[in-house]
Amino acid sequence: MENFFPHCGKSGLRAEWRRLLDARGPAQDALFARADAVRRAHCGDAVPVRAILEFSNACANDCLYCGIRASNPLPARYRMTPDEILAAVHGIAAGGTAGTVVLQSGETPGPADEDLAALLRRIKAEFPALAITLSVGNRPRDVYARWRDAGMDRYLLRFETSDPDLFARLHPGSTLADRLGCLRDLQALGVQTGGGFMIGLPGETPDTLAGNILLCREFDFDMIGIGPFIPCPGTPLENESNAYAGDPDLFFRAIAVLRLACPDAHIPATTAFDALFPDGRDRALRCGANVFMPNATPQPFRRDYQLYPGKPCVDEEPADCTRCTRARLRALGRPVAPGPGHSLKKQAPPGNRPVL
């Protein structure tokens, strides 16, 4: 990994990132330009597209911020059947834009884990060119290993915050150490691993944010998903504010600093940016992000996977999101990356790694 901060130890890195996270005016413009140049040098201009399929909102967890937490009575609970999921994946493959399907759901460990392995085998057999990312939460290492053997290429598991006390307050019955243990298991299994965090959780400080970026750098994740925390009705945090509500440009500065800290990680322009800004994902792609994740969840399920209010495209169909993705990327002058868009790290299979 190229090192843009060669003389800094951990505390020096935190201090340098705190300074960059505080940039305003011309200093902020310079930060965005630098992050964009680093993104171009390490990831290229082509944008890997990953279609996200929210196949179930059933969840056993009660994360205090999340719209599909177990105790929230608002969403009608659904689980797509394997045939419904296969049909949606068929639509993604036929659309010809996304090289990856991201299967995401709430967390329901147990017998359904075996059904998921069977589903992965079916998807791989029918769509061998499509990479599969799974994002369904904490599991024991042997379950991850079975999913890998069944065809899972990648796993996405945000650690949410690097502050262990804040993590424990937000996740009843779970600890940051548990979550980081899962991420280490995935890396040890050779699965392309994505971490990440929310920006502006109530109780976090800019130093927490710098610590989150440091944790991403220490893990050397293949991909890193970050997005603003958005208070969600029906959750214990519904009346809280984002910690940086008065300074929304900070969300974009976080993307830019993350790009400088982790130059060759895949960094998606996540959906939550569009929930807060009409052109949020486009802005993220111009200041360090390199991946786009259109929603591929079919109707009528979309409206019940609202992790936070203002989620875009709840009334759209998957094909609308594919068209919109192509138009947005075209307007940005960024071609769709061919192929599965695997990790850009050296040990990974060749994806769309640019020649430097």
What phi, psi does 270 have (nearest 5°)?
A: -80, 160
- Cα separation, 256 vs 137, whole angstroms: 27
Q: Give the residue with the Cβ less far from ligand SAM, 23 or 68.
A: 68
Task: Write the DSSP symbol of residue 177.
Answer: H
300: cis peptide before it, omega within 30°? yes
C-beta of 106 vs 340, nearer to ligand SAM: 106
The residue (of 42 and 266) whose beta carbon lies closer to ligand SAM is: 266
Cα(331)–Cα(334) distance, rounded to whole angstroms? 8
Q: Strand ranges (DSSP E) for the chain?
A: 50-56, 100-105, 131-135, 154-156, 192-199, 223-228, 268-269, 291-292
Q: Which residue has the tokens 């884990």?
A: 113
Nearer to ligand SAM, 44 or 292 (CB): 292
Task: Output the smallest distance, CB 15 to ligand SAM, in A.
Answer: 27
Taking the chain, what is the end-to-end CA distance rounded to the nearest angstrom?
Answer: 13
Amino acid at 103: L
Would you say 68 or 209 has its CB closer to ligand SAM?
68
Positions in the binding site for ligand SAM (CB under 6 A): 65-68, 104, 106-107, 135-137, 157-158, 160, 198, 227, 229-230, 232, 272, 307-308
What's the min distance (Å) between Cβ of 225 and ligand SAM? 8
Identify which of residues 66 and 209 has a Cβ nearer to ligand SAM in the complex.
66
Q: Residue 223 in contact with residue 268, Cβ under 8 Å?
A: yes
Q: How far is CA 193 from the centre of its chain?
A: 11
Closer to ligand SAM at the Cβ: 28 or 208? Answer: 208
Least distance between ligand SAM and beta carbon 333 (Å): 29
How far apart are CB 158 and ligand SAM at their closest, in Å?
4
For residues 55 and 86, the answer to whether their CB atoms sit within 8 Å is no
In whole angstroms, the minimum distance from the beta carbon of 113 to ligand SAM comes to: 13
The CB-of-94 to ligand SAM minimum distance in angstroms stands at 26
Q: Are strands 131-135 and 100-105 parallel, antiparallel or unpaired?
A: parallel
160 conformational bin, left if phi > 0, alpha if psi -120 to 50, beta if neither: left
Least Cβ distance, residue 126 to ligand SAM (angstroms): 24
What's the token pair of residue 51? 């279609």
- Closest CB to ligand SAM among 160 and 264? 160
- At closest approach, how far in Å is the CB of 260 from ligand SAM? 22
